[in-house]
Chains A and B, each alone.
Chain A
Amino acid sequence: MGKKINLTIDGKKIQAMEGDKILWAALENDIYIPHLCAMKEQQQSPFAGCRLCFIEIEGKPRPVAACTEPALEGMVVNTRSESIDRLVEAGFNLIMSNHHIDCKNCAASGACELQKIAKERKIRLKPKKLVQLDMNLPKDHSKDCIIYDPNKCVLCGRCVTACRTEGTAVLGLAYRGFERMVTTFGDIPLGETECSGCGSCANVCPAGALIQTNK
């Protein structure tokens, strides 16, 4: 393995490893594509649920998610266009209509992926035409070094993967539709689970829903 291929992203000729997804090829070459749920270690079975990393590939009639498309020799990719930008903005606005916006008081402010996407794509944080879909769910302070605020969660699933691979696998995605959320088995507080407090979930949370305190 390990064969290098050539492709063009936004007019820029770059090289990538064959089999890598376009998202990671772009990011490694300083081309930003918005993303929340993608994790490089999981790129061969991407979650693909946040629906933000849309790109256009010449020859394909519809936008595709960059985290799912393998980079191929000679491929021509555009990460920006009127239709792509509109689609990304629509997805971002939907996420923000369900995200409790409280940047001033949020510990993740400044390191927040949502803020980064808004800045990169020049989108306002608070959507104008959508109603705010507040969940009003209780915060979980039961673990002394982890705070979980489900109202900020964007359901990217990264914490679930991190908890399975590095932690004690207490987190999961449960329920369906609008009710879907990250929770523990039986919805018990983190402090009552086998959570070891390793903080791997907080390290990967893009939106400040999971915060590691310094005890």
Chain B
Amino acid sequence: MVGAATCGRAAGAQNITKVIRDELASRQIEATVIEVGCMGHCYAEPLVLIQKPDNPTICYGYVSEGLASMLVREFIAGDDPCIEFALAAMEVNDFIPTFEDFPRGMVEKKVVMQHCGIIDPENIDHYIANGGYEALAKAIHKSGEEVVSEIKTSGLRGRGGAGFPTGVKWETCRQFKEDVKYVICNADEGDPGAFMDRTLLESNPHQVLEGLALAAHAVGASKGYLYIRAEYPLAVERIEKAINQAEESGLLGESILGTDFNLTLEIFQGSGAFVCGEETALIASMEGEPGIPRHRPPFPAEAGLWGKPTVINNVKTLSYIPHIIRKGADWFRETGTPDSPGTAVFALAGKVINTGLVEVPMGVTLSQLVYDVGSGIDGGKQFKAVQIGGPSGGCLPESFLETAIDFDSLNQAGAMMGSGGMVVMDEDDCMVEIARYFLDFTQNESCGKCTFCRLGTKQMLEILERITKGEGALEDIDTLLNLAKNVKTGSLCNLGKTAPNPVLSTLKHFRNEYEAHITEGRCPSLMCLNLIAYYILPDKCERSCDACIGSCPVESIFSNEDRIKVVDQEKCVKCKSCMDACPPQYSAVVKLSPPELVQEKENDNG
């Protein structure tokens, strides 16, 4: 099996598939090659799993075309499993550790990601063989009330952001006696760096479909939609195939499993506006209007799509439903915390060594995620913060590493679960620049309807840009704080209400960095271009080496009379090429902040 979800393909998985197929053909070996989804080990992609009789299934990572060819030659055609290239085995055995034997595996618990990267997402039989559609077969003979009750008892909270109890939402919709109701799967995943929903759609599409069918049965709907962003073409393709397969198998469409339950599912491709992840904006988009949020109440569960009761659930939320129905609410409550039961899926990105997706019980700590799952910070750098919940979330510093990750603990800490994006930052990340980045994203994605979001975030962005350029004033901090609080209170929808969160949390935990920018013109992380200068240390410069001169795109580096290299600060565009070009044994190029330090250094040496 070759991991060929979008992240696998980005790492070259399709070439690996071709190499393996060609090698098998040239050796006339009869073996099945399947493109599967994503297991979550994105740091090690391309991934290949080999399942050979009398051997445990082995997962190989960092597979190059050469290694792929070698694996066919030595293991599939021969008997050498090339253990030195294996990441882990998939089953307990005597020779190769399993994923559960590593620190990451001890923290992880897979529910919705259990079959991701293992089953063929384009084969419904793979899903059925692993218990798929059993929940639907079971629930369809129960009343909708019983299904709703089970979900309420499970305590499942929506995995799209705020964590509203799913069963309560379903119950509200169920209560309306209407002939027409809708269920919608919200796959408009827009946080920078987040791809949990995409992975589930690409790796196990039937799981989501079964969840949506169960939701439809529970609330009494016969029509459902999957709102998928058009930027996810592979996800759209696989869901389309999955719907067709399910209909052919009598699991969707008319008279499902021979009963009087009918459900038609359709894909609606969203146009990519971040704000359409908000329920009322998503509905407006589907109705042909601009994707602009409406005031709530009425909530979509009362009056949603075309004015009819509508339940909208996130991909991850729906993915849990089949498991809860099949194994029961009590089983679900065994994992996680009392108020946040179950697991959560995170996209771990940023400065951790092992980036990728991970599914962990609610209540594990940030420390476990960063150090056990992520293997800590790359390059021996110091951990600084983690941004949870994307542009709507907040950043948490080192003092919060032992914070449990669940809806309520994160809320108290000033962050939020969001949909599961988690970006780890180290000492080289400027927290003012981070806040500016997220606010710039939010400003760009604002629909422009309401005053506080359209103009409030713009004013905040102006202030942050002044600060990162060294043009801020101390009173800007107070103005920024007041704006943030007012935008939070006054905005119409959650995009605007949460837009100030990165600013509020960075100001709370890293106010010293804001102040350094303003009062000293210094960027403590050496990140803000206007506040840094590149400088070549004379005593480390190897006179005979011209690597930095050659690398400079604007010819700002020259040799002085002693043949020591000097940067012309007027010309320098701070692209970092000279720092990268300087051989490690010299490491003569450094960053200084504030830029005036260059003159001081030169005076000292002169």
Q: Determine whether the beta carbon of B273 is less than 8 Å from that of A129.
A: no
Interface members, chain A 92-125 (any B CB < 8 Å): 94-95, 97-98
**A51's contact among B290, B447, B491, by CB below 8 Å, is which?**
B491
Q: Which residues of B contact A176 (CB under 8 A)?
A: 273, 445-448
Contacts A65-B295, A91-B490, A131-B462 given; does A175 touch B448 at CB 8 Å: yes
Residues of B within 8 A of A173 (CB): 290, 448
Q: Taking the complex as formed, is B444 at the interface, i.e. its CB lies under 8 A from any CB of chain A?
A: yes
Is the CB of A52 closer than 8 A to any CB of chain B?
yes
Asked whether any CB of chain A lies closer than 8 Å to the CB of B449, the reply is yes
Q: Is the CB–CB distance between B450 and A94 below 8 Å?
A: no
User: Which A positions have Cβ atoms within 8 angstroms of B?
Assistant: 46-52, 54, 62-63, 65, 68, 86-87, 90-91, 94-95, 97-98, 129-131, 133, 155, 173, 175-180
Within 8 A of A (CB), among B467-520: 475, 479, 482-483, 486, 489-492
17 further A-B contacts with Cβ under 8 Å, apart from A46-B295, A130-B459, are A48-B295, A48-B492, A49-B450, A49-B492, A50-B450, A51-B492, A90-B452, A90-B483, A90-B490, A91-B451, A91-B490, A94-B456, A131-B462, A155-B449, A176-B273, A179-B448, A180-B448
Question: Is B458 at the interface (CB under 8 A from chain A)?
Answer: yes
How far apart are the CA atoms of A50 and B456 in the complex, in Å?
12
B295, B450, B451, B483 interface centre (most CB from chain A within 10 Å): B451
Check A97/B459 contact, CB under 8 A, given A52-B451, A178-B448.
yes
Contact B458 A178 (CB under 8 A): yes
Question: What are 13 pairs between A and B in contact, CB < 8 Å?
Answer: A50-B450, A51-B450, A87-B486, A94-B452, A94-B456, A95-B455, A129-B479, A133-B459, A175-B448, A177-B445, A177-B446, A177-B454, A178-B455
Query: CB-CB < 8 A to B482: which residues of A?
Result: 90
Best-surrounded residue of A47, A49, A130 (most CB of chain B within 10 A): A49
A51 x B490 contact (CB < 8 A): yes
Q: Which residue of B lies closest to A48 (CB)?
A: B295
Interface residues on B, range: 20 to 34
B450 near A48: Cβ-Cβ < 8 Å: yes
Distance in angstroms between the alpha carbons of A177 and B445 in the assembled complex: 7
When chains A and B are docked, how far (Å) is the Cα of A185 from the Cα of B215?
A: 40
> A-side binding surface: helix, strand, loop or mixed?
loop
- Is there a chain A Cβ closer than 8 Å to B443's Cβ? yes
What separation, in Å, do the CA atoms of A208 and B458 have in the docked complex?
23
- 1/0 contact string of B431-461 vs chain A (CB within 8 Å): 0000000000001111111111011101100
Smallest CB gap from B456: residue in A: A94
| Cβ A62 vs Cβ B448 within 8 A | no
Question: Complex formed: what's the CA distance from A73 to B417 in Å?
Answer: 38
Q: Are B454 and A62 in contact (CB under 8 A)?
A: no
What separation, in Å, do the CA atoms of A173 and B449 have in the docked complex?
Answer: 9
Specify the chain A residue showing the minimal Cβ separation from B463: A131
Q: Please, which residues of chain B bring their CB within 8 A of the CB of A179?
A: 448
Residues of A within 8 A of B462 (CB): 131, 133
Closest 6 CB pairs of A and B: A180-B448, A90-B486, A94-B455, A177-B446, A49-B449, A51-B451
Chain A positions within 8 Å of B458 at CB level: 133, 177-178
Write the chain A residue with the least CB distance to B478: A129
Given A51-B492, A94-B456, A133-B458: A177 and B479 within 8 A (CB)?
Answer: no
Measured between beta carbons, the chain A residues less than 8 angstroms from B491 are: 51
- Chain A, Cβ-Cβ closest to B483: A90
| Residue in A65, A130, A155, A177 with the greatest tally of chain B CB atoms within 10 Å | A177
User: How far is the CB of B532 from the nearest CB of chain A, in Å?
Assistant: 25
Q: How far is the CB of B41 from chain A (nearest CB, A)?
A: 37
- A116 vs chain B, min Cβ distance (A): 17
A115 to chain B minimum Cβ distance, whole angstroms, is: 18
Tell me the smallest distance from the CB of A51 to a CB of chain B, in Å.
5
A104 to B: closest C-beta gap in Å: 24
Which residues does chain A contribute within 8 Å of B445, judged by CB atoms? 176-177
Bound-complex Cα distance A91 to B488 (A): 12
CB distance from A187 to the nearest CB of B (A): 16
CB distance from A126 to the nearest CB of B (A): 14
For A129, the chain B residues whose CB sits under 8 A away are 475, 479
Docked pose: A50 CA to B455 CA in angstroms: 11
How many angstroms between the C-alpha atoms of A50 and B449 in the bound complex?
8
Chain B nearest Cβ from A67, distance in angstroms = 9
Chain B, Cβ-Cβ closest to A96: B455
| Contact A131 to B459, CB < 8 A, known contacts A87-B490, A91-B451 | yes
Q: In the complex, what distance in Å separates the CA atom of A28 from the CA atom of B456? A: 31
Contact A49 B459 (CB under 8 A): no
A48 vs B492: C-alpha distance in the bound complex, in angstroms?
8
